[in-house]
Structure 1
Amino acid sequence: MNAHELRDKTPDELRDALVQLKKEAFNLRFQAATGQSENTARMRQVRRDVARVKTVLNEKARGAAAEA
C-alpha cells in the first residue's frame, strides 16, 4: 500500500483501512507472543502502513480545514 493509492480514497475508506490494519497488527502481536509468527517482517509493514494511513488522514483533515 503506497501513499498515492491512499490519497485516492475517501476519509471513510481510510478509517476502515486503519481499523483493518490495527486488527492485523493485534493478531500479529498475539502470534509473536505465542511463538506462532511465520512472517516476522509483516509486523513492520503493518506498522508503517498504519502510519501512512494516519498521515494521509491528517493531510485530508488539514486540507478540509484550510478550505473552510
Structure 2
Amino acid sequence: MSTSREIRDLPDNELVDHIKTVRRDLFGLRFQHATGELENTAGLKTGKRDLARALTIARQRGIDTNK
C-alpha cells in the first residue's frame, strides 16, 4: 500500500497497524542492507516514503503512534 489515498481511507486502528507493519518491514530491510543481503536497495527509499506518508496522516488525525 503506497498511495496516500489508500492510506487516508484506512480507519484509525488499521492505520496504526499499517505503521507498525511498515516500521517492522523497514527494520528488516535496513538489517539486510547492513549485512549485504539486500539486492534491491530501492525498497529502502519506498519504505521510508510509505512510512512518512502514514505518519503524516496519523499526525493530521491526532493519533499517537508511539503507544
Which bracket does the TM-score occupy, shorter chain normalised?
0.7 to 0.9
Listed as ranges, the matches of 1:49-64 within 5 Å are 49-61=50-62
Greater Cα radius of gyration, structure 1 or 2: 1
1:23-68 CA distances to partner (integer Å, 9 max, x unpaired)?
1111011101110002100000000100000011111228xxxxxx
**What is the percent sequence identity of the aligned residues?**
37
Poorly superposed stretches of 4+, deviation over 4 Å: none
What do you get for the CA RMSD once the two structures are aligned? Answer: 1.3
Number of aligned residues: 62
What residue ranges of structure 1 are gaps of 5+ in the alignment? 63-68
Does 2:19 match 1:21? no
Instruction: Give 1 or 2: higher helix fraction.
Output: 1
TM-score (norm 1): 0.85
